[in-house]
Amino acid sequence: MDRTGPALVVAPLKDEADGVCRRLAERGFPASPAQVGALTCSVVPPLDLIIGVGGIGKAQFALQTQHLLDRCRDAVRHPALLVCVGGAGQLSPDVTVGDVIVGTRTIEHDYRERFNPRPAPSYEIDAAALIGLERASANREFDFRVHFGPIASGDEDIVDTVRRAQLHRETDALCVAWEGSGAARAARFNGVGFVEIRVVTDAADETAARSFHANLDRVMPHIADLLAAWRSALSERGEPLRL
């Protein structure tokens, strides 16, 4: 496998992927459309990014991501890194709407074995990507905060404060979203690195659905800003963009 291949950035929703692409274009990194199998993606050559849509929920996201990984080899180049991006609900009181969370690990909180109980599955971030993202977050001035910590993943809307507190106690995660563990499983199966980056759109409480839709367009560009800083810094140092 080409260890300097592009990063495949996959968002659950088209609105999320479009928000990243618009912001990258504003920063001087326009995207070009590319047909990758059955899915239309956006390619950003200066940052060596392929941006696609994975669908909602762990299973659908894993399925469409696998399709992209299979077909990218023919349509563009085979990715060496999979980046799951999108909105998320706040779990920790230390984060707020607009903050970006880089997952140091993704915890599949709704995978519950009863025959042979064990801790929930957990997926670690690609080590080289973590270093690059830490450098990017430390060396750039953003108008939002970047946190590094666990992200909870499961096909469950967290929409009340009692369940939010329970899930935070169980996982110690900073935020919660659906698809990350599906992405992590696809990455592991294909032998590529994995990163989950989320931006907080809501407080995972009774107002979550309304807040998500109200905030998404405003905060998704924060992920694009971090991606641009990370990938640009690698290029400026002459390092492989895969890192």
d(CA 151, CA 101): 8
The residue among 233 and 195 whose pLDDT is bigger is 195
Phi, psi of 58 (to 5 degrees): -60, -45
Token digits of residue 18? 């479009």
CATH of domain 7-236: 3.40.50.1580
Q: Is the pLDDT of residue 123 over 80?
A: yes
Residue 162 CA, distance from chain mean position: 26
Q: Could you report how far apart the first and last alpha carbons of the chain are, in Å?
A: 14
pLDDT digits (tens, 9 = 90+) for 131-141: 999 999 997 78
Distances (CA, A) of 164 to 12, 66, 92: 22, 31, 9
Mean pLDDT, all residues of the chain = 93
Place of tokens 């956006």: 42
pLDDT digits (tens, 9 = 90+) for 23-72: 999 999 999 999 999 999 999 999 999 999 999 999 999 999 999 999 99
pLDDT digits (tens, 9 = 90+) for 203-218: 999 999 999 999 999 9
d(CA 132, CA 233): 8
* pLDDT of res. 113: 87
d(CA 96, CA 16): 19
Contact call for residues 236 and 52 (beta carbons, < 8 A): no
pLDDT band at 237 (very low <50, low <70, confident <90, very high): low
Q: Is the pLDDT of residue 15 over 90?
A: yes
Distances (CA, A) of 243 to 8, 39, 189, 235, 237: 12, 25, 19, 10, 12
pLDDT digits (tens, 9 = 90+) for 86-116: 999 999 999 999 999 999 999 999 998 888 8
Domain spans, the chain: 7-236
Q: How would you write 118-179 as a 3-class SS string? A: CCCCEEECCHHHHHHHHHHHHHCCCCCCEEEEEEEECCCCCCCHHHHHHHHHHHCCCEEECC
* pLDDT of res. 43: 96
